[in-house]
Structure formats: C-alpha cells, structure tokens
Amino acid sequence: MSDYRPPLEDIRLVLEEISDISAICGLPGYEHVDSETIDGVLDELARFVAEVVAPVNQVGDQEGCSVADGVVTTPEAFHTAWDKFVEAGWGAISQDPNYGGGGFPGVVQTVMTELLATASRAWSMGPMLTVGALDALHAFADEGQKEVYLPKMITAEWSGTMNLTEPQAGSDVGALTTRALPQDDGSYLIFGTKIFITFGEHELTENIIQLVLARTPESPPGTKGISLFIVPKYLVGDDGSLGARNDYRCLSLEHKLGLHASPTCVLSYGDSGDGAVGFLIGEEHQGMRYMFKMMNNARLGVGVEGLAVTERALQQAADYALERRQGRAIGAPAGEQSPIVEHADVRRMLLTMRAYTDAMRCLLYLNAATIDVANRHPDPGARQAASDRAELLTPISKAWCTDVGVEMSSLGIQIHGGYGYIEETGAAQHWRDSRISPIYEGTNGIQAMDLVGRKLTMNGGSVMAELLAEITSTINDLVEAGDGFTSIREGLADALDAMQEGGVWLAANGLANPVDAMAGATPFLRMFGQLVGGWLMARLALGAQRRIDAGEGETTHLATKVVAARFYAEQLLPIVRAQLGAVTAGGRDLFEVPADAFSA
C-alpha cells in the first residue's frame, strides 16, 4: 500500500473557492480564527495523519479485533495512535471553548474528518462518532451533564457512540424494545440488546459514553415513545472520577467484509440482571429528535468517508500506474513497455477518480460551511436559509458520495489489474472498507426517500428552487468565461434541464401515487448529486482560471481543475439525463413480478 499524502493544495482551494472560508471566519464566535491560522493548523494536522494515523491502516486491517469475556482487543498500533491524538489535542479543534475546545469552524472539523478517514478508515470511526455524540450532548444535555462529560470527550480521553439498532428493528428504529426503568434518584435502569455499535467496546479510552435510545414505561408506540440516555461504561463521580463498571457487556463482534480493525459490537444492557445505569437527556419521548442531531452530523461524516476512500484509492492507483509497465502505448518506441498511465483507458479511469474526488470535496465542504452559517450568522433569516440548504444537501452528501466512493474504490482495483485483486497491494482494502458507508446512518435508499418525500417540497419547493437558481447563475457566468468553458456550460445547462424535468414529474405524480415517487427516488438522488457535483466543479474551475489569469498559485495544479471540470461535464454529467427515464418510469414494473418469483 502506498504512503498517504494529504492533498492540502486541493483542500485549500476548495475551502477558499467553495466554502468561502474567509467569510466563515468572520461569523460571530470565530473572531479568533483566520485563514492563515487555519493554514497553519492544516499543515500540522497533515503531518500528524501522515506520520501517525496512516501507518496503522493496513496493519489494522490485517490484525483486526477480538473479544474475550466482554473485553475487546484492537491492534496495538491503534492505542499508540490514539494516545498521540489525545496528546496533540486534535479532538478539541472545533469544540466549544467553554468546555476546553478550540472553537474552530465546523468546516475545519470536516477537513479533519477527511484526513483521518483517508489515513485510516477503521481508526477514524472512533473520533468521528465522538464528535457526533458531542454535538448531541452540547445541544440537548443539561449543564450538569455537560460539565461531567464534555471536557473528557473533547480531549478524546473518553469516546462516544450512538446506540440505535436492535436485532428485530434494523432501520425501523421505532420498533426498538430496549427498556428504561425510572429510579427514585432520577436515574434509569436500561435493559436491552443493541447491535452494529461501532466502537461500542474497546480499551483505547478511559471511558465510553454510550448514547442509548430506549423506552420508558407506558411510552407511546413507534418513534414518539423513544427517549435518549447517557450510559457510561464507567459511572462518573461528582468530582469527575471513574467509579464502578456499568452493567452492560459486549457479547460479540461482527465479522465484517471490511473495517476489520473497527470494533462493531453486540451490546447487552442489564446483562447481569441489575440494569445499566442511564441518565435521561432532555425531555422524555424526545429521543429521536435529539438523536437526529447526532445522525445528521454522522451523515455528513459518512459522506466524507466516500471522499476519503476515493482520495486514497486514487493516490494508490496513480502511483501504481506510474510504476507499472505493460504493453506499448500508442506512439511509444517499438520494443519498449510503457507505464500503464500512458494508456488512454487508464487515463480515463484516473481522471474519472480525480473529477469525482474534486466534486465530492466541494459538496461536502459546502455542506459543512452551510451548517456553520446556520449556527452562527447574526441574521435569523440567513440562519434559516442556511439551515434549509444544509437539510437539502445532507442526503446528497451522505448517499451520493458513498455510492461514488464504492464505485471509485472498485475502479482503483481495476487500474491495478489482477494485482488489485490480491490483498497484499492494499487496493482491495479500500473497496472492502468503503462498502459499509452506503448502509450507515440510514441506507442510501432511505436518504433518497427523504430527499423526494420531504426535502424536494420544503417550503413549498422554494429551497430546491433557490439552489437551482444558483446553478443557473453559474451557467450565466460560464458564458463570459471563454471557449474553454463552453462544454462545461452546455453540459451543466442540459443536466439542469433534465433535473428540473425529473423534479416536476415527481412533484406532480408523487402526490397521486407515492409508490411512483419512491420508485424514482434513488435515480433522482443520483441525478441531483451528479448535477450539484458538476455545478461545484464549474465554480471551482472558474476560480482556478481567475487565479491563473492573475498569476496566483501553481499553474499546473490550477489548470488540472479546469480540465477535470471539463471532463466531468462532458463524460460524467450526461448521467443526469440518463437517469431521467428511471425517475419518471413509476413503480408499475417493480410490482408486476410476484415477490416469490425473485427466488424462483
């Protein structure tokens, strides 16, 4: 497996041209941060992930995790990397300064999530989930709970999780049966089993703060009867000291396709019969609302996983293509084998990976910056508009990026040829690690249904309409950009027309027959993601060209962004129109075949 090189030039260009990091730093609460400070932080962070986290990636995959008598063992290298992460203070970067955080914008946290996940997907799951738990606690816990739990979680001395899924419920969270019985001292006793709990048990941190969904007695059925509880691995005294081990246990670890070093646990609460001590967060029966705070953070983070695996697979495939000699490229001297990077089809695959990497980074950093505006802008109207935009972009960030990540990690194997299918090269690990991401945090089909069922019609459709108007504005900007941008403008305009046609059809037919809308939801999400990716690539290319014209930056790097945007518009944006038939086909054919015929 090749060494990881953090792509700081690409990251900084997207932060400036797409996220408008200077404007983000001007928001209330970020006065202590500027672009120069962020540049310095990114330099140090890049060094840290390359030297400390990246080396644990392949060894973690090979060693994996194990459990014995409820104790989970992770690779020894994971412990060393985690201790250095704590020592360096990276967990605090974007957290509340009132509890020991650094107070940087959330978009900087997204950059850190990318760098950590690209360095080692399995290791990065622990910090990512802790950030999500911190968001939920910061938003909904009472002040006493914040004082007890936030400082140690911010330093990453304690980690955090979320416990939703149960064996009988799956994605239907409303079917969960875990019980929370109230006690006289205000605490609760938790009984039940949770599955698929990432980093639910390990020895990397002093304590694990489980956020557990459960039902109190006589709660209403479905999601309306769910409450959210803090269930620490070790009970915490008033002075912050650790006390008795709580009554829950890791029964087993899942044997997974990938992410072998990330412990995915089956947890039994009340395993000894006493009940695990838990503490209610906020109000009873508001658990799903609270958990969505964490889930939306996690959905953005999972989307970043799609970017991360593509970046890592691209770097490895490009290194291999430069070194591997096979065949004679057109125009090469007779009798010589050429590096495979000289073959047109390999170039096509590499440029596809390059273009999607840029498009995903633009989308994810824009989504993160939009959340910063929603949280911090002084104007309530601007905050609400940004919040609406973030809600619209989040299912795209999660689903489109993770689907593309699987496709691109597979393409990375293809570039390696037969050697990509052999584990020693490391190319297969990227694909194996990527495959869970479209399932995490609500499967991508659920994200598509959310997009079509809720987000498409938000505020009477005005949220979608405002985004499409911005795309139209960029198309107008491309008219003035010269001949080199003609195909970008034409491709984006055609994709926008197809997207609007699909949206109009769904809005008109979905009300009459919701099955028709749901049948077209997944291809519509692909249309939307592909369009937004093309729009942001066009904006990035316009910014790169302005810098070239002004004599700023490294010309070859900037020119590559223009070429990648043109390639995306000509060869990848046509996917938008190609999906239109699937969006408008309706659900008839899906139910024409009897259900039992699929197994015939």
Residues acting as catalytic residues:
441
Q: 146 near 137, Cβ under 8 Å?
A: yes
Helices within 377-461 (DSSP H only): 380-416, 427-434, 444-450
Six token digits for residue 138: 């910061």
> Minimal CA–CA distance to 210: which of 262, 276, 148, 116?
276
* Dihedral, 316, 321, 322, 325 alpha carbons, nearest 10: 140
**74 φ, ψ to 5°?**
-110, 165
Q: 290 near 278, Cβ under 8 Å?
A: no
Burial 321-348 (b: 16+ CB within 10 A, else e): beebeeeebeeeeeeeebbbbbbeebee
Read out DSSP for 443-475? -HHHHHHHIIIIITTGGGGHHHHHHHHHHHHHH
User: What value does the CA radius of gyration of the chain take, rounded to a whole number of Å?
Assistant: 24
Q: How far is CA 521 from CA 104, 512, 584, 589, in A?
A: 36, 15, 10, 15
Give the separation between CA 513 and CA 448, rounded to whole angstroms: 17
> Minimal CA–CA distance to 123: which of 90, 71, 79, 185?
79
Give the separation between CA 434 and CA 399, rounded to whole angstroms: 12
Give the separation between CA 275 and CA 268, rounded to whole angstroms: 10
Question: Judging by DSSP bridges, how do beta strands 179-182 and 188-198 pair with one another?
Answer: antiparallel
Dihedral sign (CA 393, 396, 402, 407) = negative
Give the separation between CA 433 and CA 406, rounded to whole angstroms: 9
Q: What angle do CA 475, 13, 85 make, to 5 degrees?
A: 140
Chain position carrying tokens 């006065």 = 31
* Cα distance between the two ends of the chain: 43
Chain position carrying tokens 């004599």 = 551
Six token digits for residue 44: 């140090």
Give the separation between CA 176 and CA 371, rounded to whole angstroms: 30
Dihedral sign (CA 350, 353, 359, 364) = negative
Six token digits for residue 345: 């089809």
Q: What angle do CA 496, 501, 507 make, to 5 degrees?
A: 125
Return the axis-axis angle of helices 555-567 and 8-17, rounded to nearest 10°: 70
